[in-house]
Structure 1
């Protein structure tokens, strides 16, 4: 049988629509009141949809090309431990541990030098092969699946002794494959503060900002004017812009903020940072990592393109979990990292690969310190407790853990604007299915939303916003840097989206950007398959509670300011919603904050860049203190947490390290 060109492509698209429609039908129909009252129908629909999905997958009708160029047979990249006689050990110039936000950048940039042979090891699979990570609105559906690390904190002593859910990406792209795609990099003052802490001016905003421009490919949207495209990167791999949806409730949030002395800002990612600049258009849609085709841009899709994967000097191995770093303890000048040990599963065979030049640890703020400690690099007392041979005593590994705590609020939306992804009736189920077809056919419609479409950045000591407030300790990085972020979502939710309200809602949220509280990450055991002990110690410092109280009260003002005031049903009495909170005292609000505080998925600083005597783990070149041939590159190296979203800064750090390494080895080749 002859097939016309593009026939297979059309077949795949039709299959994609059918597959996602199936998932959507399960997700949507189970939340309708009709389905809840008819258990038999609910089960029948679920089973039918599951069978259809399995048949589609078994016939490969929904198969992306991603993953076919990745190595899954670990014997191809490493020597099996215990083989006798031992085969020749596979050697690379650089081994990168972790294919997350930073790891994909490093793999792509370093292999631009054809003389460098690079191995990238990732514990998960491909992120670009998953429909729920490519579709902007569906990312939370990956939570509680095999594609994320199901991490939980210790009971939080200052937050009702409750554990908190901490999902981390377990796939190529890492957390850039499961985040809310908000492209905001922090404040310029953050990076000037970094330069001062580490004593290296190359990390100051004036010098470091070029790496943000290097990663960017800003694509103007004709519907969104006011951004100076000349100040954005045009040739980078990471496409950014304004191609997500911008629903009415998000527009109302922005308009209400501007009426409360929060001036409009058309672009947070400039030298002016989050300082507001007034533009004629009263619209602050957040810039996103969503491309002009309305698909997520992750570090995998941006940096591990087909051309990059075709390079002969790059090998990307997936489902390869690193269990420890291998050191030469007899090396001249101190211990040297010379390779890694890795495995596909807890009980599977272990493999080793050797690194001639460097091992770069890019496993994230949780797993980078975890792997260091498992390998014998960390606090001597902690290592001895678990009988791990000590390679080098660095007391601060895993300490100085800081995160952005967030508090979620929900108010009834009396306009009952359909949210499609969270339908409340049979009619809206059909609207959801229509929006699915609209998205796959035209890449348009409400499924383009990144859920958190608009944001505002403020200081908790701003007298125009917080009149008659007592003085609070200033933890910001500069006089014009914020310490609170307000943002709106197209619906309210609890428990990271696991619980949805039974009525239409508007979600409002406040994040503390510069918390004073610090936590720690420690080993649970010497078994690399045991998750570490995570204790962010949320709200240990009372000033963190006080600032969040101010943020919550400011959200009340936003909700009662037009035009959002006309959208919110202030007469609602549903006890599940937050209409009664404005009548609470500051002390009562503090108690509610302690009960609700959650992560915004931004852990940082567990391997911070600072002098060793100042609780540092790596130096300004990201080299682990006292260890040769070992660097760390991810959010764990932040000297202090940025005043915004962390992905952009991680991209930029990886771009900078790539340049440093390529320059270093170019000099060595000439010498």
Structure 2
């Protein structure tokens, strides 16, 4: 029979009542399995805790996103541990547009998306920018463009220099390999010989049938303007160059989200793992002295009359809610900068100035080209025209719908781009980053405003190239707007506040212009289509005109990081190298918010590697505590 929350959290009369939470009334009658719906989970929990007969978990994981699914899977490998995973959304496995690699833009602004927006960005004409965030098991790994990058080893070594002891490249590299199950593809022979092949998170090249002809022309054009071809970015010796992306897509042609990879039926049926979906963590319940978290408050609806529940943790409460959600929950619970909390009407229980500060994101500015008729994937947006490809994908897992859409990119240092857009690769000077700070990402479709703004000619074909700032000097913050997690926080990435970021963006736009006039790519492109300039103006545009275009069209590339970063407390760090929140003994954070600085590419693999390593750290702590009791 289905398991209700009162069955999970039955409190005895001797149990303490925290912050006015009374004995819960029924509001959730489901224990949701990731793939199938409901299941009988009776008897799954042992007894323990402070109250007689109470049901207590060892670890409560708040957020079933990219990192949360990894943690739930790995921690529940120990049958002596009782794990609760809480997710506000549904299962990604119920969503066809998540499982189809090319379907992810169809998830934007649906119930599977939190769909927050930034506050007005002064450097982008005071625009408020939409920030897609996955609200489902698998989180953003179930809604992203599936680009797999380990990123530059120097990124992680810099983390360690900034105080993240134990999180350097040599510490993390084994976990990239552990996680990954690379599937070789006949179209890319010889790639992946030194990659992880046994991991549950599958990755591969989508294949020839899933790679657009313009994408291939883009990759071939790179060396002609000075960008060397690199068939495999995921090598420690070379993470730059122009390439076709490897994607987290399995051998069946389906997205390998962390939900699909880490929570198959063999895992979610473990008797010591409970997964609750459609359940929101409202706040942390702190001990009377404010030094420990004794549980979390759960709800399914904002209406306070619908009842609330407290899930208790005997070991740790882990926040894996992402770079917006994790600092928001901490602040709503009275943990964060005093001024931020008081302005929102929340009592400051644990003052921690790093919570919510230091947010960074990769910002991009696209250039949109009308191309030869029939040479793009634009037709995929038409349900009728897509039907034959859908049937092909459903039956064989191949074809255009197995494309990740963001099929290729170039990674380089912006300082190597000349004023004419040509690239001359130079050796990094002492103290300079050796990895890329600039990405030129492509998609064989019109991609203005996340595809939400239609092209000028809806029957035309389009190709998008975008300049992306990988290591922004600009940063911002996440601050609560009220004491309720149901209200969106104030998100300020601070895009292009620092003029150095503008220079990187402009270097990318100059490179895009140069590539657009170089064969074989130029043979496909008819004309650039810009809201702010004509094709003729684009060809001769000054940096000021290019920047005008950028500020009108720039958007996120979905990589917010660093809002609860690892680092010394007196240098803006929110958590220590054990991922423990300063000021609390048993609250940990594990998601992209802990990154001390940005990475040189798409961060999903880094999030998974961090979660894999953190799971091993927690297991070691459990063994140590068991040894201490013997």
Q: TM-score, normalised by structure 2?
A: 0.88
Cα gap change, 1:476 to 1:658, in 2 (>3 Å)? farther
Asked if the contact 1:476–1:514 (Cα under 8 Å) also holds between the matched residues in 2, the reply is no
Query: Which residue matches 1:635?
Result: 592
Query: Which residue matches 2:17?
Result: none
Cα gap change, 1:435 to 1:83, in 2 (>3 Å)? same
Cα gap change, 1:192 to 1:322, in 2 (>3 Å)? same
Query: Which residue matches 2:395?
Result: 441
Query: Which residue matches 2:200?
Result: 237
Question: Among 468, 491, 499, which residue is 1:534 paired with?
Answer: 491
Deviations 1:161-192 (A, max 9, x none): 11100111110000001000011122111001
Cα gap change, 1:574 to 1:549, in 2 (>3 Å)? closer
Moved more, 402-411 or 414-423: 414-423
Deviations 1:239-273 (A, max 9, x none): 01112511100000001112111111111111124
Question: Among 301, 323, 328, which residue is 1:345 paired with?
Answer: 301
1:206 aligned to 2:175? no
1:371 aligned to 2:311? no
Query: Which residue matches 2:433?
Result: 479
Moved more, 563-572 or 238-247: 563-572
Q: Can you give the 5+ residue segments of structure 2 that lack an aligned partner in the other structure?
A: 12-20, 26-50
Query: Which residue matches 1:260?
Result: 225
Deviations 1:200-251 (A, max 9, x none): 2x3121221111001000111122113142x111111100111251110000
Cα gap change, 1:633 to 1:273, in 2 (>3 Å)? farther
SS in 1 for 2:133: strand
Counterparts of residues 296-311 of structure 1 (less than 5 Å): 296-311=255-270
Deviation at 1:626, TM superposition (A): 1.8
Cα gap change, 1:79 to 1:517, in 2 (>3 Å)? farther
Asked if the contact 2:64–2:86 (Cα under 8 Å) also holds between the matched residues in 1, the reply is yes
Deviation at 1:467, TM superposition (A): 7.4
Query: Which residue matches 2:288?
Result: 329
Counterparts of residues 15-414 of structure 1 (less than 5 Å): 73-79=4-10, 81-83=21-23, 89-198=54-163, 200=165, 202-229=166-193, 231-244=194-207, 245-276=210-241, 284-330=243-289, 335-347=291-303, 348-414=306-372
Deviations 1:411-440 (A, max 9, x none): 1112432526446xxxx8754222122221
1:552 aligned to 2:509? yes
What is the CA–CA distance in structure 2 between the aligned matches of 1:403 and 1:573, rounded to whole Å? 24
SS in 1 for 2:511: helix
Deviation at 1:566, TM superposition (A): 0.8
Deviations 1:477-530 (A, max 9, x none): 953211100121111221111123222111111110011111111111112211
Q: How many residues align?
A: 583
1:615 aligned to 2:580? no
Query: Which residue matches 1:648?
Result: 605
Asked if the contact 1:275–1:480 (Cα under 8 Å) also holds between the matched residues in 2, the reply is no
SS in 2 for 1:198: coil
Deviation at 1:90, TM superposition (A): 2.9
Deviation at 1:619, TM superposition (A): 0.7
What is the CA–CA distance in structure 2 between the aligned matches of 1:505 and 1:571, rounded to whole Å? 9
Backbone CA RMSD of aligned residues: 2.5
Asked if the contact 2:178–2:199 (Cα under 8 Å) also holds between the matched residues in 1, the reply is yes
Asked if the contact 1:94–1:357 (Cα under 8 Å) also holds between the matched residues in 2, the reply is yes
What is the CA–CA distance in structure 2 between the aligned matches of 1:456 and 1:165, rounded to whole Å? 25
Cα gap change, 1:90 to 1:452, in 2 (>3 Å)? same
Asked if the contact 1:250–1:454 (Cα under 8 Å) also holds between the matched residues in 2, the reply is yes
Deviation at 1:465, TM superposition (A): 8.0
Cα gap change, 1:365 to 1:574, in 2 (>3 Å)? closer
SS in 1 for 2:613: helix
Deviations 1:61-115 (A, max 9, x none): xxxxxxxx9x774333335842289995431001000000000000000011111
Q: TM-score, normalised by structure 1?
A: 0.83
Asked if the contact 1:102–1:654 (Cα under 8 Å) also holds between the matched residues in 2, the reply is yes
Q: Can you give the 5+ residue segments of structure 1 that lack an aligned partner in the other structure?
A: 1-68, 277-282
What is the CA–CA distance in structure 2 between the aligned matches of 1:478 and 1:359, rounded to whole Å? 39
Moved more, 492-501 or 575-584: 575-584
Asked if the contact 1:573–1:579 (Cα under 8 Å) also holds between the matched residues in 2, the reply is no
SS in 2 for 1:152: coil
